[in-house]
Chain A
Amino acid sequence: KAGVTQTPRYLIKTRGQQVTLSCSPISGHRSVSWYQQTPGQGLQFLFEYFSETQRNKGNFPGRFSGRQFSNSRSEMNVSTLELGDSALYLCASSFYGIAGGPPDTQYFGPGTRLTVL
């Protein structure tokens, strides 16, 4: 199976602009999670989507939003970019096929490195 893919891989924006990042999960996976990783920092959870519904959300401002399409592909959007939004944005997909079941293994994409000038 093809792995998780993310586009674009690199992005340079200026403050105040908005950006949309895309994530295509492994075929058959229905859950997509998004993370922000800054240099030397851990994985900060943004949100998780399952079957086009946001199921969990981290502690990020409303400028960060996402959505999931019927084919499980997901996008995240950041509006009114700030310098502090410069980071590696990772998405991860998992099966989560059983409602109420335990978390499943997450497989990460290569990430999108966003630089805000």
Chain B
Amino acid sequence: GENVEQHPSTLSVQEGDSAVIKCTYSDSASNYFPWYKQELGKRPQLIIDIRSNVGEKKDQRIAVTLNKTAKHFSLHITETQPEDSAVYFCAAGGNYQLIWGAGTKLIIKP
């Protein structure tokens, strides 16, 4: 069946450095790619999303890139801050359903 692979499972970066999380999807019909952030004890919240007719989208320190040919998309966080520490989930959607990645725990070292 369809699946989404997310890497790495844990990412530790120095405060101020950049972080990159990558996801690969299998369903070529997927056309919606959101990223969610889940802080400890809280609900997942959408931080950015991209649709298949766009190759890149930015929102301040956060950006997402999409390569439909290779079927992968990435989350880029620049100038990381302590409040970026969380678990990040990617998902790929098409035909009503979202297929979720397993999550990446991002640790920001002071």
Indicate if B73 sits at the interface (CB-CB under 8 A): no
**Interface residues of chain B: helix, strand, loop or mixed (majority):** strand
Most buried by A among B49, B89, B93: B93
**Interface residues of chain A: helix, strand, loop or mixed (majority):** loop
- Output the nearest chain B residue to A4 by Cβ-Cβ distance: B43
In contact, B43 and A102 (Cβ under 8 angstroms): no
Q: How many residues of A contact B (CB 8 A)?
A: 22
Q: Which residues of B contact A111 (CB under 8 A)?
A: 43
Q: Which residues of B contact A64 (CB under 8 A)?
A: none
In contact, A42 and B96 (Cβ under 8 angstroms): no
In contact, A105 and B44 (Cβ under 8 angstroms): no
B-side residues, CB < 8 A to A, are 31-32, 34, 36, 42-46, 49, 51, 89, 93-94, 96-103
